[in-house]
Homo-oligomer: A and B are copies of this chain.
Amino acid sequence: MIVTLKGWASRDAEAIERVEAVIREHELEVHEKRGTEYTVIAVIGVGDNVSACQIQLEAMDEVWKVQRISNPNKFVSRAYHTQNTAFPLNGHVLGGPEFIVMAGPCSIESEPQIMACAEVVADCGGHVLRGGAFKPRSSPYAFQGLGLDGLKLLRRAGDQFGLPVITEALAIEDLPLVEEWADIIQIGARNMQNFRLLEAVSRCKKPVMLKRGIASDVDEWLGSAEYIVRPGKTNVMLCERGIRTSDRTYTRNTLDIQAVPVLRELTHLPIIVDPSHAAGRRAYIPAMMRAAVAAGADGIIVEMHPDPPKAKSDGAQSLSFPEFRAAMTLLVPYLRLFAEERAVTLDPIVV
Contacts and interface: CB of A to CB of B under 8 A. Distances in A.
A170 B195 contact: yes
Given A46-B36, A337-B337, A69 B4 contact: yes
A295 interface: yes
A7 to B, nearest CB: 6
B42 A249 contact: no
B283 A351 contact: yes
A36 B43 CA distance: 10
A38 B46 CA distance: 11
A69 B127 CA distance: 42
Interface string A278-309: 11001111111011111110000000000011
Nearest to A200: B171
Interface string A190-226: 1101111111000000000000011111111001101
Give the oligomeric copy count.
4
A141 B227 CA distance: 9
A122 interface: no
Interface string A2-24: 10100100000000000000100
Interface in A133-166: 136-142
Given A223-B139, A351-B327, A262 B250 contact: yes
Contact of A258 (B278, B308, B333): B278
A33 B38 contact: no
Contact of A226 (B139, B172, B197, B326): B139
A172 B69 CA distance: 37
A196 B56 CA distance: 35
B254 A215 contact: no
Nearest to A137: B195
B141 A48 contact: yes
Interface stretch (A89-97, A109-117, A310-318): A310-318
B258 A279 contact: yes
A83 interface: no
Contacts of A218: 247, 249-250
B247 A217 contact: yes
A177 interface: no
B295 A291 contact: yes
A236 interface: no
A256 interface: yes
A282 B33 CA distance: 26
Interface in A254-268: 254-258, 260-262, 265-266
A55 B312 contact: yes
A309 B333 CA distance: 38
A59 interface: yes
Contacts of A194: 171, 190-191, 194
Interface centre among A215, A243, A257, A316 (most CB of B within 10 A): A257
Contacts of A286: 349, 351
B215 A215 contact: yes
Interface of A: 2, 4, 7, 22, 31, 33, 35-38, 40, 42, 44-46, 48, 51, 55-60, 67, 69-73, 79, 136-142, 170-173, 190-191, 193-199, 213-220, 223-224, 226-227, 243-251, 254-258, 260-262, 265-266, 278-279, 282-288, 290-296, 308-313, 315-316, 318-319, 323, 326-327, 330, 333-334, 337, 340-341, 348-351
